[in-house]
Amino acid sequence: MRDIAAAMCVVVRLRLPNCQGCARCTTIHPNQKLPIVGKSDAKPEFSVPSIHAIIVTYNADPVLLERLLAALAPQVAGGVVVNNGAHLPLSRTALQERGFDLLTLMENRGIAAALNAGFDWACRHGAEFVVTFDQDSEPAPDMIVDLVQAWQTLARQGVAVGAIGPEQVDSRTARRAAFMAPIRWRRSKLSPVAGQVVEVDHLITSGCLTTIHAWRQAGPFLDDLFIDYVDIEWCLRLRHNGLRVFGLGGAILYHAMGDDVKDWRGQQIPHHSPLRHYYLMRNGAYLQRLSHIPFAWKVSDAIHMVKKFIYFSLRSHPRRPHIAAMLRGLVDGLRSRMGPARDAHD
């Protein structure tokens, strides 16, 4: 936290692209890129909040988990590892040395249930801000302070912020993933320069900074989703409740996309097991039933799901189990058969 306190001495302001030189812009328009500019030796305008981290693990790689803990420890007041299983490769003592607690769920209850358990822990420990992580991510040394500063700057402008997240950089290829602009029928990608804040449709779980207040206002993550669409649905629920979601250029999260990633027409597409493709289709179909999801978003995602179904049907091998899993997922999602898949295995 000393690193955060020192960094908070930098005064940061947002200025709109068409600003005419006014001292401070007071209106932030949707979809505009909002660069953070300027440094000053003036009195600090930022407070140092209580920031806690939640790390969700499942069959964690001890080396990657240790690297994540080492990167997080200087940036947060504390945190918790929520393990979806009975065994974690690092001991509780090793976690405590890094300032982290351990919650063991004893079985794989899914990422949503694990996140909710982590937020309950954060509430009990007096957290104001919470930043969530997968086990295969690593934040840059200044990632969290950059996110907090951007959040506080937006808040000073009167913006109701629900979440803000960093740019994802593939830890093996150094390729940056673009943000998705708020979906209004069409999908468009955003690639902000360093310091630019852009309003986005949703964020991935890893590196997402939010507050206990926002979590309470939007409600907990949907346990029934188990995995896939958990972060998307929650971000859409934030927006439904009047909160906005942002991405910050230059705040970097190194993130592994998976072992089986294929390039197709300039895109990196992770390939998964039939079980994951089941969840992908089931949860996408289920979101079509939810009243708080905008109609234009549903149409756009339905078209995107059709494209994914065709792609994975043709490019997954062997094809038959993937097609069968996706078809069953569509049926279960439309019938609201949720929770862990009936044939799920740890």
How far is residue 283 from each of residues 37, 213, 233, 329, measured CA to CA in Å? 40, 26, 10, 8
What pLDDT, on the 0 to 100 scale, is given for residue 296?
Answer: 96
Tokens 């089931």: give the residue: 282
What pLDDT, on the 0 to 100 scale, is given for residue 271?
Answer: 83
Model confidence pLDDT, tens digit, residues 95-138: 999 999 999 999 999 999 999 999 999 999 999 999 999 998 99
What pLDDT, on the 0 to 100 scale, is given for residue 48?
Answer: 60
Angle between helices 319-334 and 274-287 (to 10 degrees): 30
Say whether 146 sits in a helix, a strand or coil.
helix
List, for the chain, all residue ranges whose pLDDT scores fall below the cut of 50: 2-33, 35-45, 344-346
Q: Which domains does the chain have, with CATH numbers?
A: 51-255 (3.90.550.60), 261-334 (no CATH)
**What is the bridge-based pairing of β-strands 51-57 and 78-83?**
parallel
Tokens representing residue 242 in the block: 């009047």
What pLDDT, on the 0 to 100 scale, is given for residue 174?
Answer: 82
Pick the closest to residue 196 from 12, 5, 7, 11 (CA basis).
Answer: 12
